[in-house]
Structure 1
Amino acid sequence: MKKILNTKLHLRFVFNPLIRLMADNLGAECCINKKPRKHPVIVSLTSYEERFDDLVISLYSIFRQTLKPDRIILWLSDEFKSLNDLPYEITRFLKNGLEICFVKDIRSYTKVIYAFREFKDSVIITADDDIYYPKDWLEKLYYSYIAHPEDIQLHRAHRVILKNGQIQPYESWRKHVEEESARYDNFLTGVGGVLYPPACFSNEVLREDIFLKYAPYADDIWLWVMALVHNRKIRVVQNHIRTLACTDIFRQIFQHKRTLYAHNSKGANDRQLQNLMKYYGQNIMNRLG
Structure 2
Amino acid sequence: MTGGGASGVVVSLTTHGRRVRGVHRTIETIAAGVLRPDRLVLWLDPADHATPTGALRRLVDRGLEVHEAPAEWGPHKKYLPYCLAHAADGALLVTADDDVLYPRRWLQDLVDAHRADPTTVWAHRSRMMRLTADESALAPYQAWSYSRSSGPSFARVPIGMGGVAYPAVLQARLAEGGAGVPDLVRRTDDLWLHRHALRGGFPVGQVREVAADFPVQLGSQDSALFRTNLNGGNDHVVSRLYDPTDLELLREHARG
In the superposition, the TM-score normalised over structure 1's length comes to 0.79
Query: Which whole-Å CA distance do the structure 2 matches of 1:142 and 1:282 have between them?
Result: 31
Structure 1 residue 96 displacement after superposition: 1.7
Find the partner of 1:273 among 224, 238, 242: 238
Contact 1:140 1:240 in 2 (8 A): no
SS at match of 1:132: coil
Flag the structure with more relative contact order, 1 or 2, with Cα contacts below 8 A and sequence separation at least 6.
Answer: 2
2:124 maps to what in 1?
Answer: 155
Q: Which deviations, in whole Å up to 9, do the C-alpha atoms of 1:105-141 show, x marking residues without a partner?
A: 1111111111221221221100011010000000000
Q: Which deviations, in whole Å up to 9, do the C-alpha atoms of 1:174-220 show, x marking residues without a partner?
A: 12x122211111111101000001121514763565x4322221111
Q: Which amino acid aligns with 2:249?
A: N
Query: Which whole-Å CA distance do the structure 2 matches of 1:281 and 1:91 have between them?
Result: 48
CA pair 262-287 structure 1, distance change in 2 beyond 3 A: closer
Query: Which whole-Å CA distance do the structure 1 matches of 2:200 and 2:250 have between them?
Result: 10
Query: Which whole-Å CA distance do the structure 1 matches of 2:176 and 2:138 have between them?
Result: 22
Most deviating of 166-175 and 129-138: 166-175
Contact 2:142 2:230 in 1 (8 A): no
Structure 1 residue 237 displacement after superposition: 1.0
Query: Which whole-Å CA distance do the structure 2 matches of 1:35 and 1:101 have between them?
Result: 20
Unaligned runs of 5+ in 1: 1-30
Q: Which amino acid aligns with 2:25?
A: I
Contact 1:43 1:126 in 2 (8 A): yes
2:19 maps to what in 1?
Answer: 51
SS at match of 2:13: strand
- RMSD of equivalent CA atoms: 2.0
In the superposition, the TM-score normalised over structure 2's length comes to 0.88
CA pair 203-87 structure 1, distance change in 2 beyond 3 A: closer
Query: Which whole-Å CA distance do the structure 1 matches of 2:176 and 2:161 have between them?
Result: 20
CA pair 141-81 structure 1, distance change in 2 beyond 3 A: closer
CA pair 35-75 structure 1, distance change in 2 beyond 3 A: closer
1:119 counterpart = 2:90: no
> How do residues 1-289 of structure 1 correspond to structure 2 at under 5 angstroms?
31-36=1-6, 40-80=8-48, 82=50, 85-105=51-71, 106-120=73-87, 121-163=90-132, 164-165=134-135, 166-175=137-146, 177-201=147-171, 202-203=173-174, 206-207=177-178, 209=180, 211-238=181-208, 242-248=212-218, 250-252=219-221, 256=222, 258-277=223-242, 280-289=243-252
CA pair 225-217 structure 1, distance change in 2 beyond 3 A: same
Q: Which deviations, in whole Å up to 9, do the C-alpha atoms of 1:254-280 show, x marking residues without a partner?
A: xx2x43223214321011112212xx4
Query: Which whole-Å CA distance do the structure 1 matches of 2:229 and 2:211 have between them?
Result: 24
CA pair 237-100 structure 1, distance change in 2 beyond 3 A: same
Structure 1 runs, 4 residues or longer, greater than 6 Å off: none
Unaligned runs of 5+ in 2: none
Query: Which whole-Å CA distance do the structure 1 matches of 2:220 and 2:44 have between them?
Result: 21
CA pair 91-204 structure 1, distance change in 2 beyond 3 A: closer
Query: Which whole-Å CA distance do the structure 2 matches of 1:57 and 1:241 have between them?
Result: 23
